[in-house]
């Protein structure tokens, strides 16, 4: 029997209303397990960054509570913040500092003694070693993003927040970063990621949370989500065009293309039976023949778009 | 106590000073030298003595105080305003540091710079005039207390300011007039009785008077009153900083 472990991050009834009256978070409840990668998806202004900012201590919650490893983020802020690393969305760096000194500064700020070997490893992993003595203002946007990641990793966090970490970065950094994410996950680090690149979430996340208008619409294991809400379509290229769907086939969820040359059958990937075999039998009985058949499956992006549209 | 954080902030700020050595040290030394040339040599030669002290020597405490106040405020205000402006303040806000530790790092560095500057100005002054310091410990105490207090004030200003104009308003429109009208370059005894009384409302008068007492044992107000005033103001500024951090005023939305 597997031992049941307490979540590393527990969010209860969390609300945030800004001074202007805008409610950015509405009653958020979420448990995040140790060592998992959870992707928070949501359109711009959904509340993702506010949620991260509250947990990290940058924004004050209006009500509710957040615990990290059982410690309250307000009462035990030293414990919780020392466990957390944050890569912010904006490229906010100390322009006049060198790469090495700004990363070393972060480690000290988070209460860790100097460990040049660790900083060297982080910089090498992020392909920043050659730039360690360069002033940050001389670096490209992608390099600055690497510096922010290095700063967050400098103090060896056990919970890492990556707020849109791949926004505006090249393929090389993405690859480096996902390699590091894999390494961190293997080392037991919990990773909370927000991204607009849904294919990234689809590729690396264990669970997916969808936020819209400050509400957490759902949190689900990625595979279950794809299976539960994912759809598959079978498109049949007919040998003879139809003017309408025959009454014998009206029990199926069928669509006829405008030119009458294609029949499109949509079914849920989560169902026990797809109905495809029965459909093909009934088509034969109705004397409808097809030349070709192809299938498509909805991506996480399609699921996300549908969820957001439904909740809006 | 997160000592590593205090040291990280302190070193970071001191490194910034090393990068801007001309602005931080050379410029004030040159301007002070000019004060001595203009006030001490050119004008001072026509003023015999003020309260038994040569005019050049008389203005030394005032000049030190002027620099301590201006540079403490500008160093500390810029130290916190700039991270707010560029956004890097997120790191300090999300770090496991208390208000006292943040203040110790930023204000400690700003005050250190001011103290070093004060000592350099004192050294510069010795090239122009003979200076005697009757109470060096009290002098040092005044320099340290003033540097810490006005660095705290600068820190408050840096948190409060949301644009560069506000950042320069307090030093240029409030502190500079108060220093010039606070007996830095003259004795209030030279003023008519009414303006002598008005001068007592100027808090900088108490600082200049206290520092001058430590040099020459001449003072407009009692040294105990001067020390009590700067200590009380320091506590007030510290309380305000704690309030700002506790409530997140202009720091945490």
The answer to whether A79 touches A28, Cβ cutoff 8 Å, is no
Q: Given this model, what pLDDT does residue A227 score? A: 67
What is the Cα–Cα distance from A285 to B19, expressed in whole angstroms?
Answer: 85
**Model confidence at A2, in pLDDT bands (50, 70, 90)?**
very low
DSSP for A195-214, written as a single string: -S-HHHHHHH-SEEEEEETT
Interface ipTM: 0.85
Neighboring chain B residues of A78 at a CB cutoff of 8 Å: 2, 96, 98
Q: Given this model, what pLDDT does residue A269 score? A: 63
Instruction: Report angle CA A297, A221, A182 to the nearest 5 degrees.
Output: 95
**Model confidence at A271, in pLDDT bands (50, 70, 90)?**
low
Q: Given this model, what pLDDT does residue A4 score? A: 53
SS3 A12: strand
Q: Given this model, what pLDDT does residue A30 score? A: 93
Neighboring chain A residues of B15 at a CB cutoff of 8 Å: 97, 101
Interchain CB distance below 8 Å, A81 and B94: yes
Q: Given this model, what pLDDT does residue A133 score? A: 93
Closest alpha carbon to A275 in A247, A298, A252: A252
Count of other CB atoms within 10 angstroms of residue B249: 14
A3 pLDDT above the threshold of 70? no
The stretch A164-193 carries a mean pLDDT of: 83
Neighboring chain B residues of A86 at a CB cutoff of 8 Å: 90, 94
Interchain CB distance below 8 Å, A109 and B9: yes
Interchain CB distance below 8 Å, B96 and A79: yes
More reliable by pLDDT, A161 or A246: A161
The stretch A109-138 carries a mean pLDDT of: 92
**Model confidence at A250, in pLDDT bands (50, 70, 90)?**
confident
What is the Cα–Cα distance from A103 to A148, expressed in whole angstroms?
Answer: 8
Q: Given this model, what pLDDT does residue A27 score? A: 93
Q: Given this model, what pLDDT does residue B43 score? A: 74
List of E strands, B52-177? 53-54
The stretch A142-158 carries a mean pLDDT of: 91
Neighboring chain B residues of A52 at a CB cutoff of 8 Å: none
A37 pLDDT above the threshold of 90? yes
Interchain CB distance below 8 Å, A58 and B8: no
Closest alpha carbon to A246 in A203, A205, A284: A284
SS3 B133: coil
Q: Given this model, what pLDDT does residue A1 score? A: 39
Residue percentage of chain A with pLDDT more than 90: 41
In Å, how far is A168's CA from the nearest CA of chain B? 18
Of residues B8, B98, B252, nearest to A59 (C-beta): B252
Interchain CB distance below 8 Å, A58 and B90: yes
Interface residues from chain A to B (CB-CB < 8 Å): 18-19, 56-60, 77-82, 84, 86, 88, 90, 92-97, 101, 104-113, 151
The answer to whether A125 touches A49, Cβ cutoff 8 Å, is no
A270 pLDDT above the threshold of 70? no
**Model confidence at A228, in pLDDT bands (50, 70, 90)?**
low
Please state, rounded to an integer, the average pLDDT across all residues of chain A: 86
* Lookup: tokens for A225: 């989500």
Interchain CB distance below 8 Å, A95 and B87: no
Interchain CB distance below 8 Å, A111 and B94: no
Chain A / chain B CB contacts < 8 angstroms: 81
Count of other CB atoms within 10 angstroms of residue A279: 20
Least confidently predicted of A89-103, A259-273, B140-154, B161-175: A259-273
Q: In what order do the strands lie in the sheet with A71-72?
A: A23-32, A9-17, A63-68, A71-72
Interchain CB distance below 8 Å, B87 and A90: yes
A259 pLDDT above the threshold of 80? yes
Q: Given this model, what pLDDT does residue B125 score? A: 86
Whether B4 and chain A come into contact, CB under 8 Å, resolves to: yes
Tell me the domain boundaries of chain A: 9-226, 231-311
* Spans in chain B with pLDDT lower than 50: none
Q: Given this model, what pLDDT does residue B250 score? A: 84
In Å, how far is A305's CA from the nearest CA of chain B? 30
Neighboring chain A residues of B5 at a CB cutoff of 8 Å: 108-111
Task: Given CATH 3.30.70.60, say whether it is the number of domain A9-226.
Answer: no
Closest alpha carbon to A62 in A72, A51, A70, A71: A51
The answer to whether B102 touches B178, Cβ cutoff 8 Å, is no
What architecture does CATH give domain A231-311? Answer: 2-Layer Sandwich (3.30)
* Lookup: tokens for A253: 């969820």
């Amino acid at each position: 029997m597997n031992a049941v472990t307490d979540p590393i991050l527990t969010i209860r009834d969390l609300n945030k209303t800004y001074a202007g009256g805008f409610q950015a978070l509405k009653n958020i409840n979420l448990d995040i397990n140790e060592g998992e990668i959870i992707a928070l998806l949501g359109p711009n202004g959904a509340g993702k960054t506010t949620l991260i900012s509250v947990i990290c201590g940058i924004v004050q919650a209006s009500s509710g509570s957040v615990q990290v490893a059982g410690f309250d983020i307000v009462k035990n802020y030293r414990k919780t913040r020392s466990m957390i690393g944050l890569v912010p969305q904006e490229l906010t760096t100390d322009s006049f500092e060198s790469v090495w000194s700004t990363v070393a500064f972060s480690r000290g700020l988070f209460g860790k003694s100097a460990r040049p070997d660790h900083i060297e490893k982080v910089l090498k992993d992020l392909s920043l070693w050659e730039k360690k003595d360069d002033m940050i203002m001389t670096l490209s946007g992608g390099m600055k993003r690497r510096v922010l990641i290095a700063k967050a990793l400098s103090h060896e966090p056990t919970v890492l927040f990556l707020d849109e970490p791949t926004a505006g970065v090249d393929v090389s950094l993405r690859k480096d970063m996902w390699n590091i994410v894999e390494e961190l996950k293997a080392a037991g680090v919990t990773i909370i990621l927000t991204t607009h690149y849904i294919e990234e979430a689809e590729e690396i996340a264990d669970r997916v949370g969808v936020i819209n208008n400050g509400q957490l619409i759902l949190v689900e294991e990625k595979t279950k989500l794809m299976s539960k809400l994912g759809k598959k379509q079978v498109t049949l290229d007919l040998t003879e065009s139809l003017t309408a769907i025959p009454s014998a086939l009206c029990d199926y969820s069928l669509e006829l293309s405008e030119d009458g040359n294609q029949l499109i059958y949509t079914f849920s990937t989560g169902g026990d039976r797809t109905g495809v075999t029965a459909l093909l039998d009934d088509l034969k009985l109705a004397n409808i023949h097809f030349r070709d058949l192809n299938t498509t499956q909805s991506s996480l992006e399609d699921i996300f778009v549908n969820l957001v549209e439904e909740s809006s | 106590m997160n000592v590593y954080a205090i040291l990280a902030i302190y070193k970071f700020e001191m490194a910034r000073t090393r990068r801007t050595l001309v602005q931080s040290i050379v410029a004030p030394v040159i301007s002070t030298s000019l004060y001595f040339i203009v006030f001490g040599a050119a004008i001072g030669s026509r003023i015999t003595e003020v309260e038994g002290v040569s005019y050049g020597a008389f203005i030394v405490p005032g000049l030190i105080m002027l620099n301590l106040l201006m540079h403490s405020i500008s160093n500390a205000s810029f130290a916190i305003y700039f991270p707010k402006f560029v956004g890097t303040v997120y790191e300090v806000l999300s770090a496991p540091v208390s208000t006292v530790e943040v203040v110790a790092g930023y204000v400690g560095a700003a005050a250190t710079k001011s103290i070093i500057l004060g000592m350099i100005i004192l050294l510069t002054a010795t090239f122009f005039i003979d200076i005697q310091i009757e109470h060096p410990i009290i002098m040092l105490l005044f320099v340290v207390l003033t540097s810490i207090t006005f660095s705290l004030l600068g820190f408050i200003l840096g948190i409060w300011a949301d644009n560069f104009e506000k950042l320069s308003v307090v030093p240029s429109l409030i502190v500079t007039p108060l220093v010039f009208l606070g007996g830095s370059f003259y004795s209030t005894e030279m003023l008519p009785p009414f303006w002598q009384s008005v001068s007592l409302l100027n808090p900088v008068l108490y600082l200049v008077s206290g520092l001058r007492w430590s040099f020459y044992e001449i003072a407009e107000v009692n040294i105990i009153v001067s020390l009590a005033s700067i200590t009380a103001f320091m506590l007030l500024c510290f309380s305000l900083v704690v309030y700002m951090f506790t409530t997140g005023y202009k720091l945490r939305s």
